[in-house]
Amino acid sequence: MSLKLRGYPFGGPVLLAHASISWEAARPESREEALARARELMAALIGIGAVPHRVGSDFLPVLIEKLDPAYYGFVKRIKTMLDPKGIMNPGVIVSG
């Protein structure tokens, strides 16, 4: 997906965007197709400097791919330290 949007430096204009990508309940595979399009959109937005907010677990794979590995490792260590048994929101911050 190619977006022709301009990213702004921190402190510049803020764009809040919400996308609605429909799928057909009668075709279960259409949910996966819609999710693939939504993930593609999120990856494209991150590519121009967007910062996702309150992202659901459906988008965790996109974030893991885009985040700096050292930062994601730091997040996983904090999650493990605060929740060693993995009972708080399993799979939400750290996949698996």
Phi and psi for 42 in degrees, rounded to 5? -60, -45
pLDDT of residue 12: 56
Q: Report which of residues 73 and 14 the model is more confident about.
A: 73
Residue 91 confidence (pLDDT) above 80: no
pLDDT of residue 5: 53
Average pLDDT, integer, range 3-24 = 63
State pTM to two decimals. 0.63
Burial class (CB in 10 A: 0-12, 13-18, 19+), 1: exposed
pLDDT of residue 78: 92
Residue 66 binned pLDDT confidence (cut-offs 50, 70, 90): confident
